[in-house]
Amino acid sequence: MNEQVKFAKGKNYSVLHTGTPSSWKELYGTFGSFAEPVRGKYFIKNNLDMKGLEISINSFPPGREMPFIHRHNKNDELYFVLSGGAMFYIDGEFQELLPGSFIRMAPGAERSFKSHDKEPLLMIVVQFPHDSEVVDDVKDGMRVPGAVNWPASTP
């Protein structure tokens, strides 16, 4: 089913190639109580050996709506619209998201969305524990001595 997905692993990294965003509509993923894989949704957490968050890539056809309202028990959910657009339903309110829009929802928020009618909706969705916190994120990075000797074939 997901022939376009390729993996690579090294000592301190994992790489996942999912194809171009326009090809994401061909991916299938399973989630929740759905027994059958869902076309256009692909979860990458396990493929990249991540434990603290879940990321999915999503491609919804024009005019398609999520077939249910849902909420989470422990996770915040962050949606980032890459292209297309959607109307989001959050606790009885509506928010329109366009390319470049982000929306974060707390665990208890009831949510759903419908893609706009004219073009596919491409988005990345990130779930992470509501009570997690990144502290001193800039100070966490450390400069390492040395320089990179880039290969000549770098695109």
pLDDT in tens, 123-147: 999 999 998 887 777 778 888 999 9
The answer to whether the pTM exceeds 0.75 is: yes
CATH number of 39's domain:
2.60.120.10
Per-residue pLDDT reduced to its tens digit, 1-22 = 577 788 899 999 999 999 888 8
Determine which helix (DSSP H) or strand (DSSP E) holds 127, and give its type and residue range: strand 121-129
- AA letter at 79: Y
Q: Is residue 145 part of a domain?
A: no
Per-residue pLDDT reduced to its tens digit, 78-135 = 999 999 999 999 999 999 999 999 999 999 999 999 999 999 999 999 999 998 887 7
Q: Which of 33, 24, 36 is nearest to 125 (CA)?
A: 24
Q: What is the spatial distance between Cα 135 and Cα 132, in angstroms, rounded to a whole number?
A: 10
CB 25 within 8 A of CB 40: yes
Q: Is residue 141 part of a domain?
A: no
pLDDT value at residue 1: 57
Q: Which of 46, 15, 17 is nearest to 30 (CA)?
A: 46
Q: Which of 43, 16, 15 is nearest to 28 (CA)?
A: 43
Place of tokens 């000549």: 152
pLDDT at 33 over 70: no
pLDDT at 35 over 80: no
Provide the domain limits for residue 76.
6-132
pLDDT value at residue 133: 82
Q: Is residue 80 part of a domain?
A: yes
Determine which helix (DSSP H) or strand (DSSP E) holds 56, and give its type and residue range: strand 54-60
Pairing of β 54-60 and β 121-129: antiparallel
pLDDT value at residue 32: 60
Q: Is residue 148 part of a domain?
A: no
pLDDT value at residue 34: 57
Please tell me the total count of domains within the chain.
Answer: 1
pLDDT value at residue 45: 87
pLDDT at 43 over 60: yes
pLDDT value at residue 134: 78
Q: Is residue 23 part of a domain?
A: yes
Q: Is residue 153 part of a domain?
A: no
Q: Is residue 58 part of a domain?
A: yes
Q: Is residue 14 part of a domain?
A: yes
